[in-house]
């Protein structure tokens, strides 16, 4: 079993990650404060010393802690998403962690297909396919912070030999939530149908990012379900980490 530290473990993706790792790997949840149902290490990612202590003895770090809002201010993403991610990578390097799975986002590419430039979670009705190696076009300060996090991970992979997976995560929703949001106006509905990530696909994708033999490092891949309406390519995800999505927003909305 691999020993995995999971920052941001109390969020929706964090809880799905813990569920996906359960029974396969040893996971240490890390949260910003006490949360119901999670026995976690409590720390702030702005505290380097605390991260050093928390990561010691772990093989992999899954870094999810961030301000996840596309509406987040520059000050918030600067302190948590940018400075915090630097601290995570430095702590991973100094404590001998082998791999960092960085929770990036679909928002690093969303300006290719934005429906309304003032509303990041919208898409044009006839979107252009986007592949992992396309240049970044972030739609928000949040997206910018994740472009930074990917670049920082690339640096630590190239300079320090860390295995790095930049995992561009879609919109994790239960099927019931998907059906509710799919009734929104067309630009919003197009976006959610394209970006949907089902809970079970999230669990499997996060586990594969932790345990797969990587064909190269750093590696950037998209993590969404096998949606008919997706425009982010998941071919690379399936080939590189063995991701096998089971769900499709079109079928879940029938």
pLDDT at residue number 253: 85
Average pLDDT rounded to a whole number, residues 204-212: 98
pLDDT surpassing 80 at residue 254: no
In which element (H, E) is residue 61 found?
Answer: strand 60-63
Please give the pLDDT value at position 36.
79
Greatest mean pLDDT range, 34-48, 87-101, 177-191 = 87-101
Give the model's pLDDT for residue 242.
98
Sheet of strand 163-169, all strands in order from the earlier edge strand to the far edge: 41-42, 26-31, 3-7, 60-63, 99-105, 163-169, 219-223
pTM for this structure?
Answer: 0.96
Tell whether the model's pLDDT for residue 35 goes beyond 90. Answer: no
Q: What is the mean pLDDT of the chain?
A: 97
In degrees and rounded to multiples of 5, residue 221 shows phi and psi of -145, 160
Burial of 117 (0-12, 13-18, 19+ CB in 10 A): exposed
Active site residues: 142
Task: Reply yes or no on whether the pLDDT at 58 is more than 90.
Answer: yes
């Amino acid at each position: 079993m691999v020993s995995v530290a999971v920052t941001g473990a109390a969020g929706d993706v964090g809880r799905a990650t813990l569920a996906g790792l359960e029974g396969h790997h040893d996971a240490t949840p890390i949260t910003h404060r006490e949360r119901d149902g999670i026995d976690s290490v409590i720390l702030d990612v702005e505290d380097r010393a605390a991260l050093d202590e928390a990561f010691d003895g772990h093989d992999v770090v899954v870094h999810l802690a961030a301000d996840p809002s596309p509406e987040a201010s520059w000050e918030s993403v600067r302190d948590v998403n940018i400075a915090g991610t630097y601290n995570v990578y430095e702590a991973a390097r100094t404590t001998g962690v082998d791999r960092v799975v960085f929770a990036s986002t679909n928002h690093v590419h969303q300006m290719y297909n934005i429906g309304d430039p003032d509303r990041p979670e919208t898409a044009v009705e006839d979107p252009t396919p986007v592949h992992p190696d396309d240049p970044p076009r972030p739609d928000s300060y949040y997206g910018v912070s994740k472009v930074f996090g990917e670049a920082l991970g690339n640096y630590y992979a190239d300079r320090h030999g860390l295995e790095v997976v930049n995992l561009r995560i879609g919109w994790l929703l239960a099927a019931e939530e998907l059906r509710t949001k799919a009734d929104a106006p067309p630009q919003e509905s197009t976006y959610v149908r394209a970006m949907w990530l089902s809970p079970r696909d999230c669990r499997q994708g996060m586990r594969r990012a932790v345990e797969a033999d990587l064909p190269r490092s750093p590696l950037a891949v998209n993590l969404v379900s096998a949606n008919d309406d997706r425009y982010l390519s998941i071919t690379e995800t399936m080939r590189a980490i063995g991701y096998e999505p089971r769900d499709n927003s079109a079928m879940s909305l029938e």
